[in-house]
Amino acid sequence: MSIVTTFVLFMKVYKFGGASIADAGRMAALLPIISEEKEPLLIVISAMGKTTNALEKIVQCAVNKEYTEAEQLATNLKQQHLDYAEKLLYADYYTNTKAALEELFAGFDKAIKQADIKRFDYSYDQIVCMGELFSSCLLHGYLCQNSLSTTWVDIRKVLITDDTYRDAVIDWSRSALQAEATVGRELKKKKIVVTQGFIGATAAGDSVTLGREGSDYTAAVLAAMLHMNSVTIWKDVDGFRNADPKLFPGTVKIDAISYAEVIEMAFYGAQIIHPKTIKPLHNNNIPLYVKCFLDKNLSGSVIKADAGDVHYPPMIVLKEKQVLVQVTTRDFSFITEDNLSKLYSIFHDLKVKINLIQNAAISFVACIDNRDDKVTPLIKALSKDYKVTINEQVSLLTVRHYTREIVEELTKVHTLLLRQETRKTLQVVMK
């Protein structure tokens, strides 16, 4: 009689953001975190440091036909990555990584030359997607140098999307098959797989982005498609806090928090987790850990279906650089179903996300991100049938589990333009 032993792989996803690889020293410091894992590991990486911001400047120059400036900025960025590789790698590992980078640089240069203001979102994605490709090449080379069995995967061959550039929608059925055939196959060989967050590709092969800060979402999507056991997001904070410690003093770390609570916070703009990240994790009951790459021994936080009987402190989100748009009917007709349907269609067609909304008898107010490429066409479209007024340079403050004291403290030096509150959540637009 023979005994068959079945080994169950406990597979994890690690997502590393730009701060964790901001320089070669930071990337080298990730080695103990990665190398201690004995089970298959999928690593999703962001662009390093401020690379995405630099790429966005290149986009603006390229579409405005400021080619000399665009090429100089691109040259600087390429050299920055080559210098990074030189500090991080030696001998053949540097040579191989440099060759891989230079192949990507060719596509980068082509995208810059083809940038067109008439296809801004498309041009944006072809250029901005390069940041994650560059950084993942560097990490792959470094892990190979340290004798870790590692495979590099171009996520654009895996995540197939529609052509909604800058906020693409993933084709789940096709992408899941691709994920299993590429990433899943390598993980089953007990390899480390390094891939990119934030990006994908259309069926035609054009690069897309999944929304700013979309690397978290990529990690969650792949975890769901590949039936992973957990996702860990490594950040420069010690866990999930009730507010951004860079903006608010005296924040509190929350050890365990529910999916429902986090998705509320993400919807309102909390930067620690991308808004779309929670749904695929919740649907597949995959826990999400938030840990600190500066000290891997810190306990961090866990986000899961049932966080127990937690008494949450006030949870604070501040979105700056907002615009308050007020729409008023010219003929004093009411803002009821007909007008609301028309207004929502305008916002939807222009792909403008509404962060807060309120309507009265003859007026409709929306708080949106201050993006000139969105605000200008929106006002033009609304002005055809409505009177439009705006307040610029405003902020949107959201407090979950609010107290009167905390709201008064946070708003005391501001002028309040709009206020909404429910039993658990208070929002104010303030100047």
pLDDT tens by residue, 34-78: 999 988 999 999 999 999 999 999 999 999 999 999 999 999 999
Q: What is the mean pLDDT of residues 115-136?
A: 98
What is the average pLDDT score of the chain?
94
Provide CB contacts within 8 A for 388, sequence distance 6+: 325, 326, 327, 328, 379, 382
Per-residue pLDDT band for 5 (boundaries 50, 70, 90) equals very low
Query: What's residue 6's pLDDT?
Result: 41
Q: What is the mean pLDDT of residues 89-108?
A: 97
Domains of the chain in sequence order = 12-235 (3.40.1160.10), 315-430 (3.30.2130.10)
Query: What's residue 9's pLDDT?
Result: 66
Using CA atoms, how far apart are residues 87 and 2, in angstroms rounded to an integer? Answer: 53
Q: What is the mean pLDDT of residues 366-379?
A: 95
Burial class (CB in 10 A: 0-12, 13-18, 19+), 284: middle
**pLDDT (tens digit, 9 = 90+) per residue, 184-232?**
999 999 899 999 999 999 999 999 999 877 899 999 999 999 999 999 9
pLDDT at 125 exceeding the cut of 90: yes
What crossing angle do the helices spanning 120-128 and 130-145 adopt, rounded to 10°?
10
Query: What's residue 4's pLDDT?
Result: 42
| pLDDT > 70 in the chain, percent | 98
| Per-residue CA distances from 104 to 101, 108, 338, 352 (Å) | 5, 6, 50, 32
**pLDDT (tens digit, 9 = 90+) per residue, 262-287?**
888 888 988 778 778 999 999 999 99
Query: What's residue 306's pLDDT?
Result: 81
Per-residue pLDDT band for 310 (boundaries 50, 70, 90) equals confident
What dihedral angle (degrees, nearest 10) is formed by the CA atoms of 11, 180, 167, 208?
A: 120
Q: Where are the extended beta strands (E) located within 214-360?
A: 230-235, 240-241, 253-254, 256-258, 288-292, 301-304, 315-329, 354-359
**Do 386 and 327 touch, CB atoms closer than 8 A?**
yes
Query: What's residue 275's pLDDT?
Result: 72
The phi, psi pair for 185, rounded to 5°, reads -60, -40
Query: What's residue 3's pLDDT?
Result: 43
